[in-house]
Amino acid sequence: MPGIEPSPREPSGGDPATRVSFADIAWSFLKLGTISFGGPAAHIALMEDEFVRRRHWLTHQEFLDRLGAANLIPGPSSTEMAIYIGYTKRGWPGLVIAGSCFITPAAVMVTAIAAAYVRYGQMPRVGGVLYGVKAVVVAVIVQAFWKLARSGIKTRWLFAVGVVAAILSAFNVNNLVTLVVSALLAAIPVWWRRLKSNHAAAFTLLQLGGLGRVRWSLVLGPLLAAAAKPFTFWRLFLTFLKIGSVLFGSGYVLLAFLRADFVVRLHWLTEQQLLDSVAVGQVTPGPVFTTATFIGYILGGVPGAAISTVAIFLPGFLLVAASGRLIPRIRSSAFAGAMLDGVIVASLALIGVVAWQLGRATLLDPLAYTIALASIVLLLWKRVNPVWLIVAAAIAGMFHPV
Q: Is the pLDDT of residue 341 over 90?
A: no
Q: Model confidence over 220-268: pLDDT tens digits?
A: 444 444 444 688 999 999 999 988 886 765 555 576 678 878 988 888 9
pLDDT of residue 75: 78
State mean pLDDT over 274-285. Answer: 74
End-to-end Cα spacing for the chain: 45
Measured N-to-C along each axis, helices 156-170 and 175-196 cross at an angle, to the nearest 10 degrees, of: 150
Q: Is the pLDDT of residue 99 over 90?
A: yes
Question: Distance between CA 107 and CA 101 in Å, rounded?
Answer: 10
Q: What is the mean pLDDT of the chain?
A: 77
Q: Is the pLDDT of residue 306 over 90?
A: yes
Per cent of the chain over pLDDT 70 is: 77
Give the least confident one: 12-21, 196-205, 234-243, 309-318. Answer: 196-205
Confidence at 138, pLDDT banded by 50, 70, 90: confident
pLDDT of residue 207: 43
Distances (CA, A) of 223 to 184, 193, 292, 311, 317: 31, 44, 20, 15, 20
How many domains are contained in the chain?
Answer: 1
pLDDT of residue 28: 93
pLDDT of residue 129: 63
Distances (CA, A) of 160 to 186, 243, 259, 308: 9, 34, 37, 41
Give the least confident one: 11-20, 93-102, 224-233, 313-322. Answer: 11-20
Give the least confident one: 25-29, 205-209, 392-396. Answer: 205-209
Q: Which domain holds residue 31?
A: 1-402
3-state secondary structure 166-216: HHHHHCCCCHHHHHHHHHHHHHHHHHHHHHHCCCCCCCCHHHCCHHHHHHH
Confidence at 71, pLDDT banded by 50, 70, 90: confident
Question: Distance between CA 325 and CA 102 in Å, rounded?
Answer: 22
Question: Distance between CA 306 and CA 292 in Å, rounded?
Answer: 9
DSSP secondary structure code for residue 260 in this structure: I
pLDDT of residue 298: 92
User: Of 44, 46, 66, 57, which is closest to residue 18 (Cα–Cα)?
Assistant: 57
The amino acid occupying position 203 is F
Q: Which helix (H) or strand (E) holds 68?
A: helix 60-72
State mean pLDDT over 16-24. Answer: 75
Question: Distance between CA 351 and CA 386 in Å, rounded?
Answer: 18
Q: Is the pLDDT of residue 1 over 50?
A: no
DSSP secondary structure code for residue 264 in this structure: I
Question: Distance between CA 172 and CA 252 in Å, rounded?
Answer: 11
Contact 90, 22 (CB under 8 A): yes
Residues contacting residue 294 through CB under 8 Å, at least 6 positions apart: 110, 111, 113, 114, 117, 276, 277, 280, 281, 305
0.75 exceeded by the pTM?
no
Confidence at 293, pLDDT banded by 50, 70, 90: very high
